[in-house]
Amino acid sequence: MVYLDYAASTPVSEEALHVFQQLSKDCYGNASSLHDAGGRANDILTYSRQSLATILEGEPDGIYFTSGGTESNILAIQSIMNGLPAHKQHVITTSVEHPSVHHALDALHRLGVKVTIIEPNQNGIITEDILKKALLPETGLVSIQHANSETGIIQPLAQLAPLLKERQILFHTDAVQTFGKIRVSIKELGVDAMSISSHKVYAPKGAGAVYMAAHVPWRPLYTGAVQENGLRPGTVNVPCIGAFVAASEQMMLKLDEQHQLDEQLRDYFLQQLKKRQLPVRALQDNNKRRMLPHIIGCFFEGFEGQYVMLACNRYGICISTGSACASGYHHPSPAVKALHVSDRDALQFIRISFGRLSSKDDIDQLLHTFENLQKEKKGA
């Protein structure tokens, strides 16, 4: 099998698997228990908070562990809005966010919170002017993703942050796609809250984290919860969290090396598209936007994206048509539509994403499959 869907999920690394197995065997106590077994589990959590805080350039007390990126987004947004005063009940987000962000805001809207959804420009970017026009005196929170999971477009958060800080508006970002892939710093980005997830960084599914700075006035959704300082209920999954942190540490050690590999594979893929004269147009053809090197969004002229994805699957190749959390819905993706393309073009969208085990041979097999699709069409 050729796996080119790393933006959806990654295989578990040997380092993370080893840590998960060892903690499951040797550190099985409940971290809330007062006996020694509980103390050992709590020590792992303490170390994990410190390690993640160091990677994010934040404070350990700001790390709250969750079950993954979706829960991180929902808890961050709803808990922050719960903690803001009545005169700050307006939240702004974008049309291209992960579905979990829109789910969280739909729930808040039903409770009376005012929600504004802004559109990026034709390059997929939220500019200062776009954001500024949406700000109101009652705006309390802005949530903008660090990078889009379907297109790989990176938002200029550090440029937007001063605009919000001077107005005392809190800033949250979904950094699930960027954490472990590029440098992600709370300080440099200027955000107050951030969501990350384990299964994008070669750790088991089932862990994630929210970072919320000490000045963020959040209130929990669940009354009576004692775990994670009251942010969420339920016994903390120490083995999975330990594996998540171990994988994150490994990602940081190999960050530059992997980034270079991703760029090489991306450039090779784009060069081969032209060399083989395939009717595939990549978003990377536009140099007016900054993009993650491991995600390539393409439009395959003459084929619907779902057909290409299923055809590739028949050849043993895994790609996608966009966010795995929105799969099964046959309609143009909001993230792709935001690039000012037609519905027809948007439905021709496919996403290829590289990872640690990807190679030029994988790319060649994918391109060969594209060529076969072209031949089949011409022969029809």
Active site residues: 325
Amino acid found at 356: R
Do the beta carbons of residue 336 and residue 278 sit within 8 Å?
A: no
Q: How far is CA 329 from the centre of its chain?
A: 20
Q: How far is CA 133 from the centre of its chain?
A: 26
Q: 231 burial class (0-12, 13-18, 19+ CB within 10 angstroms)?
A: buried
Q: 149 burial class (0-12, 13-18, 19+ CB within 10 angstroms)?
A: buried
Closest to 308 measured CA to CA, from 269, 348, 256, 272: 348
Do the beta carbons of residue 74 and residue 122 sit within 8 Å?
A: no
Length of the chain: 380
CA neighbours closer than 13 Å in the CB half-sphere of residue 55: 29
* H helix intervals, 196-299: 238-253, 255-275
CA neighbours closer than 13 Å in the CB half-sphere of residue 192: 22
Cα separation of 352 and 273, whole Å?
13
Q: 47: part of which helix (H) or strand (E)? A: helix 36-56
Do the beta carbons of residue 308 and residue 292 sit within 8 Å?
A: no
Provide the 8-state DSSP code for 11: P
* Other Cβ atoms closer than 10 A to 111: 10
Closest to 321 measured CA to CA, from 103, 95, 4: 4
